[in-house]
Amino acid sequence: MTHYVVVRRDLPLGVLAAQVTHAAGASAARWGFQSDAPRGLPEDTHAVVLSVPGEPELHVIAAALRAAGVRLLEVREPDPPWDGALMALGLLPVRDRSSIRQVLSRLPLLR
């Protein structure tokens, strides 16, 4: 299994950490509610955190992933100063990464 999160690099470090945590937790939990999924992610699940420069690029990636049939969760921050801005994407963990690779292969790891 591979579990991807895509986050904006333009966020302050504390906000960025919170959004990665939120996206990973919420998308992993949603995976666990699928009828064919066991409880919890397998221990050998790989976690990958990728980054984009800002919110506009995150919208582009979300649209491309949906078009490829990838299931994802959008994380939006309701509080000021973000006021509903798209902050991160949590992809439901997958075994077959072929459709995801087409969209995410050019994104850098978060550093």
- Is 109 within a domain? no
Q: What is the 3-state secondary structure (H, E, C) of 21-79?
A: HHHHHHHHHHHHCCCCCCCCCCCCCEEEEEEECCHHHHHHHHHHHHHCCCCEEEEEECC
What DSSP character marks residue 104?
H
Q: What are phi and psi of 104, to 5 degrees?
A: -100, -5
- Is 47 within a domain? yes
Question: What is the reported pTM?
Answer: 0.91
At 32, the pLDDT band (50, 70, 90 cuts) reads low
Q: Is the pLDDT of residue 9 over 90?
A: yes
- Read off the CATH number of the domain in which 96 is found: 3.40.1490.10
- Amino acid at the residue 78: P
- Is 110 within a domain? no
Tens of pLDDT along 54-98? 999 999 999 999 999 999 999 999 999 999 999 999 999 888 898
- Residue ranges making up the domain that contains 72: 2-104
Count: domains in the chain: 1
